[in-house]
A = this chain, B = another copy of it.
Amino acid sequence: MKTRERILLTSLKLFNENGEPNVSTNHIADEMDISPGNLYYHFRNKDDIILSLFMQFEKQISDALEAPTARALNMEDMWLYLHLVFESIWQYRFLYRDLDNILMRNRKVRLRFKRILERKIRTAVAICNGLVDAGIMHATTEETEALANNIAVVATYWLNYQRIRTDKQEENGDIGRGVYQVMTLVSPFLVEEMRHLLYRLSHDYLE
């Protein structure tokens, strides 16, 4: 494997494990048994590494956000879709844990992250409208708008929230809970029949 690739892989691992602010370029080089100078041959600086990792993340989550707008979704599709979103966040969780800091320092990442967030919201609106059109959901425009924001907030911050509550540092078992939690946002707007279906689905899903 190329050194550049290894730097990205090692950085991602260390960032996720220890938090981005607690991982210096020296740490990364050390962990890989290369020299700091070598690292700086491949990346201009630490933010450059973060930007590269972010672009990997961006590509991955973009693919996940693509699918549901292409066609109408049924309930099972939505689980899968949300699962993919949560998987991406989990994989690059260091970004979300120090979001404010990272976005503050890094203009490029800030602009692009904003775009992803807006896209999340628009995707949520599109899905809801699809459900309303299909007659299995009832909501006014205003309700849909507020709902989409709530979906975006919970999807964005659920893993942070869960991490504070349950002290266990790793384990991604919370993804299922995150998906469930987002679904409970939509649930009360569904027609009764669908609400029950969702209820059964979620109990299967969470074992």
Q: Write the residues of chain A forming the contact surface with B, with a CB cutoff of 8 angstroms.
A: 19, 21-22, 97-101, 103-104, 110, 113-114, 117-118, 143, 146-147, 149-150, 152-154, 156-158, 160-161, 163-165, 180-181, 184-185, 187-189
This chain: copies in complex: 2
Q: Is the interface of A mostly helix, strand, loop or mixed?
A: helix
Is B160 a contact partner of A152 (Cβ separation < 8 A)? no
Is B165 a contact partner of A161 (Cβ separation < 8 A)? no
Measured CB to CB, the nearest residue on chain B to A96 is B100
Residues of chain B within 8 A of A187, CB atoms compared: 143
A180 to B153, CA, bound (A): 14
Q: List 12 A-B contacts (CB under 8 A).
A: A21-B101, A97-B101, A99-B164, A103-B164, A143-B188, A149-B161, A150-B181, A152-B161, A153-B157, A153-B158, A153-B181, A157-B161
Is B98 a contact partner of A184 (Cβ separation < 8 A)? no
Is A160 a contact partner of B117 (Cβ separation < 8 A)? no
A122 to B69, CA, bound (A): 37
> Given that A98-B100, A147-B184 are known contacts, is A156 also in contact with B157, CB under 8 Å in the complex?
yes
A164 to B113, CA, bound (A): 9
- Interface centre among A117, A150, A187, by most B CB within 10 Å? A150
How many Å from the CB of A60 to the closest CB on chain B?
19
Is B101 a contact partner of A149 (Cβ separation < 8 A)? no
Residues of chain B within 8 A of A97, CB atoms compared: 100-101
A118 to B167, CA, bound (A): 13
Is A160 a contact partner of B157 (Cβ separation < 8 A)? yes
Q: Which of B156, B164, B181, B185 contacts A161 (CB 8 A)?
A: B156
A98 to B103, CA, bound (A): 12
> Given that A21-B101, A98-B98, A100-B163 are known contacts, is A153 also in contact with B152, CB under 8 Å in the complex?
no
Is B21 a contact partner of A99 (Cβ separation < 8 A)? no
Is A117 a contact partner of B165 (Cβ separation < 8 A)? yes
A124 to B86, CA, bound (A): 26
Residues of chain B within 8 A of A22, CB atoms compared: 104
